């Protein structure tokens, strides 16, 4: 009942989370075909993917202004713009056009991400309960459904643009539901408060660790299954599918955990699970064990990012909420900036097995950040 009531309260912005997931699921499952079509190696492909975080950083600067300008239509407008860009990776004929298209996708995706998280944070303040996990769970549901659909289409010989176009049409239909209420008014005490930068930075680093780890599976799991372990295209698509399904399960189940346990403790245990999953994926002898690793990682990492965003939304003054979430999102999405270079570079020098081992070690730094945040509070 706790989960259903949370989903009902967050139902409007949660639709935007689902739309966001449908694109990234289709894109992740299409990466082997997109990369082959561009004719580039792992390292160059990783560099091309940097267009996404470059666009995201631009979006984080624009988001508070766009949100204030468009008010109750902001979420609807930015999500529609994002959906219109879905087909770009499937149509780009050269690496240069692909990189430019990814920048545009990064901008529209980033605007959608900040505005939808700000709307959920407004609802959390209004209803005095955590709603981030269940909202992010809808992203993972959309991601898994879309990745699975894409896997079947690839197995049937369809080009990436077909799956991306289907996701775009579905997204544009759902956009009609996304008109939201303006942010609540602030009292004089809140308005006089300043931005607590220490909290913003610590929460940003927590979200960074989560998104960096998530990005390694979103972007490279299909290649790991197909190239390292010899799977076919459908088997490769099940890498991101497994991530999406387990992240959806973890986030929706994590909603109940957040209602009962301290957020810091949940993040710590989730971090340990994430690290174990990365090590299993690194050592996997068959696609089955890679799925076990991706699933374990997905269950763990699923709650870390949403709780980091929820914490900053609750801990900063209301007048700074959208700006603070934008800044935390900039830090967090830089994980998607680091992940392509990290995974592509290590894979080119060594292998994807070594890449996932490095990720498993790196995510453990989140535990230290949680203790620092507790001290700051």
pLDDT recorded at residue 188: 45
25-73 pLDDT tens trace: 899 888 888 888 888 887 788 788 878 778 877 887 788 888 888 888 8
pLDDT recorded at residue 112: 92
pLDDT recorded at residue 311: 85
Task: Give the contacts of 69 (CB within 8 A, at least 6 positions apart).
Answer: none
pLDDT of 86 higher than 50: yes
Calculate what percentage of the chain has a pLDDT beyond 70. Answer: 93
pLDDT recorded at residue 206: 93
Domains present along the chain, CATH in parentheses: 2-182+194-376 (1.20.1250.20)
Q: Bigger pLDDT: 181 or 130?
A: 130
Q: Bigger pLDDT: 10 or 116?
A: 116
Confidence of residue 189 (pLDDT cuts 50, 70, 90): very low
64-75 pLDDT tens trace: 888 888 888 889
Q: Bigger pLDDT: 346 or 266?
A: 266
- Which range among 48-62, 176-190, 303-317, 349-363 shows the weakest confidence by mean pLDDT? 176-190
326-366 pLDDT tens trace: 788 778 877 766 776 777 788 778 888 888 898 899 899 99
Element (H, E) at 319: none
Q: How far apart are CA 345 and CA 169, in angstroms?
A: 35
pLDDT recorded at residue 262: 79
Confidence of residue 314 (pLDDT cuts 50, 70, 90): confident
pLDDT recorded at residue 275: 94
pLDDT of 190 higher than 80: no
CA distances from 92 to 95, 99, 311, 327 (A): 8, 9, 39, 31
pLDDT recorded at residue 181: 64
Torsion of Cα atoms, 46 then 48 then 54 then 56, to 10°:
-80
Stretch 249-262: mean pLDDT, rounded?
A: 76
Nearest to 298 by CA among 255, 240, 358: 240
Longest dimension (CA), the chain: 62
pLDDT recorded at residue 19: 94
Length of the chain (residues): 377
pLDDT of 302 higher than 90: no
Highest average pLDDT, of 117-126, 137-146, 290-299, comes from 290-299
pLDDT recorded at residue 214: 83
Stretch 271-291: mean pLDDT, rounded?
A: 92
Number of H helices, E strands in the chain: 18, 0
Task: Give the contacts of 32 (CB within 8 A, at least 6 positions apart).
Answer: 222, 223, 226, 233, 236
Stretch 176-196: mean pLDDT, rounded?
A: 61
Average pLDDT, the chain: 84
CA distances from 106 to 85, 113, 322 (A): 10, 10, 18
């Amino acid at each position: 009942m706790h989960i259903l009531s949370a989903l009902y309260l967050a139902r409007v912005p949660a639709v935007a989370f689902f739309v966001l997931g449908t694109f990234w699921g289709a894109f992740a499952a299409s990466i082997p075909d997109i990369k082959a079509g561009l004719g580039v190696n792992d390292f160059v492909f990783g560099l091309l993917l940097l267009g996404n975080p470059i666009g995201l950083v631009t979006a984080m600067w624009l988001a508070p202004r766009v949100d204030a300008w468009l008010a109750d239509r902001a979420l609807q407008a930015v999500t529609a713009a994002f959906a219109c860009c879905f087909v770009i990776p499937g149509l780009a004929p050269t690496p240069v056009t692909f990189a430019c298209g990814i920048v545009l996708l990064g901008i529209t995706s980033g605007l959608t991400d900040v505005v939808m998280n700000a709307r959920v944070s407004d609802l959390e303040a209004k209803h005095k309960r955590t709603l981030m996990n269940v909202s992010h769970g809808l992203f993972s549901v959309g991601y898994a459904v879309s990745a699975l659909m894409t896997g079947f289409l690839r197995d049937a010989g369809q080009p990436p643009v077909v799956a991306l176009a289907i996701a775009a049409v579905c997204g544009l239909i759902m956009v009609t539901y996304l008109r939201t209420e303006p942010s609540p008014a602030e009292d004089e005490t809140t308005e006089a408060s300043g931005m607590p930068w220490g909290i913003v930075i610590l929460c940003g680093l927590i979200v960074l660790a989560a998104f960096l780890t998530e990005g390694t599976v979103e972007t490279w799991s299909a290649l790991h299954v197909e190239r390292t372990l010899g799977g076919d295209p459908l088997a490769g698509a099940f890498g991101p599918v497994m991530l999406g399904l387990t992240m959806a399960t973890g986030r929706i189940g994590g909603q109940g955990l957040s209602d009962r346990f301290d957020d810091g403790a949940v993040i710590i245990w989730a971090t340990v699970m994430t690290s174990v999953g990365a090590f299993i994926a690194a050592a996997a002898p068959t696609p089955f064990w890679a799925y076990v690793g991706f699933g374990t990682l997905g269950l763990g990492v699923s709650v870390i990012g949403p709780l980091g965003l929820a914490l900053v939304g609750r801990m900063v003054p209301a007048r700074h909420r959208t700006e603070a979430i934008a800044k935390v999102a900039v830090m967090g999405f830089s994980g998607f900036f680091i992940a392509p270079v990290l995974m592509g570079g290590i894979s080119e020098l060594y292998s994807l097995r070594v890449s996932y081992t490095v990720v498993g070690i790196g995510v453990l730094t989140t535990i230290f950040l949680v203790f620092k945040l507790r001290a700051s509070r």
